[in-house]
Amino acid sequence: MRLSFFSAKPYDKKSFGLAHAARDPPSPVTITYHDIPLNEDTVSTVRDADAVCAFVNDSLSAHVIETLARQGVKAILLRCAGFNHVDLAAAARHGIMVANVPSYSPEAVAEFAVALIQTLNRNTHRAYNRVREGNFALHGLLGKTLHGKTVGLVGVGKIGLATARIMKGFGCRVLASDPFPSPAFEEYGEYKDLDTLLSESDIVSLHCPLMDNTRHIINGDTIAKMKKGVLLINTSRGGLVDTRAVIKALKTKHIGGVALDVYEAEGSLFYDDHSGEIIHDDVLMRLMTFPNVIVTGHQAFFTEEALEEIAQCTLRNLEEFIKEGTCKNSLTKEPELRSKVPDPVRNV
């Protein structure tokens, strides 16, 4: 089984190399790493591969999948949880299995969301720069005590629940909105409808997937329902937030601060070094001029433990596919596919 591995970074090669070498019995998979992303422009380079491994900003549109099928690819291994960038219906039509890594470390992402809340609230990002310049003044760094504040979580699946647990530990009141309530959350807080959550929360953190009905769930109308001075955190998917609406609300000071680990047009920028170039994304550049905005490059998942589990689980998925023709984490087997495809998810 030959696996073509796209968007390969040095840390991917290291974690997959270690996991591959440690397989017992030895893995029947041969991995070829490519630094380039997988998309409409690069898919024609896929030769002699039985499977491809892709990450969050690779594009797996119907056209890419059709080309992969023509080249004899039988499985797509996502080394991530989100699958909004994959046309699952097209994969099913072409008999290609798509599998993801559904849960590698929800705590890693939750801890990063909390780190963003803490940084934004206490202005640690500004303090760090100031002190390096010999400026020890506190003016402009005033924060708020989190204890007793209300935190609203949009989506309390694995990551939202881990975030709820931490924020409850801080002494916050935790609210959640989720169309599929679960008793697991009730230990930490209360479910509310989205409008109530937005109107009562001092901090709103997004943890729901990107789908047609969640695209721009944070927009001009929903921002208007938020408390003045609210902090908005997004570690889920960029497409959940209408960035232009956020910029307007930052200018009027309706939003008190924004921390984004994901951005709706991140595909052409994130995961690469553009420091010597002119960046043409004026929306992102404007956003980054605000002192109360933090942008990070989709790194909430990035811990040693998460990388190790991603590599192990991806190889397990492929080895199971070789033996069984499918795997436990397949997104294209019935009936899971039926429940995922009617509400088609689109590319970020």
| Binding stretches for ligand NAI (CB under 6 A) | 81-82, 103, 106, 109, 154-160, 177-180, 207-209, 213-214, 235-237, 261-262, 298, 300-301
Give the integer Cα–Cα distance in Å for 41 and 125: 38
Give the integer Cα–Cα distance in Å for 286 and 157: 32
Active-site entry in 237, 264, 309, 316? 237
Give the integer Cα–Cα distance in Å for 231 and 118: 11
At its nearest, how many Å lie between ligand NAI and the CB of residue 25?
31
Using an 8 Å Cβ cutoff, are 17 and 67 in contact?
no
At its nearest, how many Å lie between ligand NAI and the CB of residue 85?
10
Triad 212, 288, 217: Cα angle to 5°: 20
The nearer residue to ligand NAI, 20 or 158, going by C-beta atoms, is 158
The residue number whose beta carbon is nearest to ligand NAI equals: 157
The nearer residue to ligand NAI, 20 or 207, going by C-beta atoms, is 207
The nearer residue to ligand NAI, 239 or 257, going by C-beta atoms, is 239
Neighbours of 316 (CB within 10 A): 18
Residue with structure tokens 């909430």?
300
The nearer residue to ligand NAI, 99 or 262, going by C-beta atoms, is 262
The nearer residue to ligand NAI, 29 or 60, going by C-beta atoms, is 60
Told to judge if 237 belongs to the known catalytic residues of this protein, a careful annotator would answer yes
At its nearest, how many Å lie between ligand NAI and the CB of residue 166?
14
Give the integer Cα–Cα distance in Å for 314 and 303: 16
Give the integer Cα–Cα distance in Å for 118 and 257: 11
The nearer residue to ligand NAI, 76 or 175, going by C-beta atoms, is 175
Using an 8 Å Cβ cutoff, are 80 and 104 in contact?
no
| H, E, C per residue of 143-165 | CCCCCCCEEEEECCCHHHHHHHH
What is the biggest distance separating any 2 CA atoms in the chain, rounded to whole angstroms? 64
At its nearest, how many Å lie between ligand NAI and the CB of residue 180?
4
At its nearest, how many Å lie between ligand NAI and the CB of residue 95?
26
Contacts of 44 (CB under 8 A, 6+ apart): 67
Q: At residue 322, what is the residue type? A: I
At its nearest, how many Å lie between ligand NAI and the CB of residue 322?
26
Backbone CA torsion sign across 160, 165, 171, 177: positive
Told to judge if 47 belongs to the known catalytic residues of this protein, a careful annotator would answer no
Active site residues: 237, 266
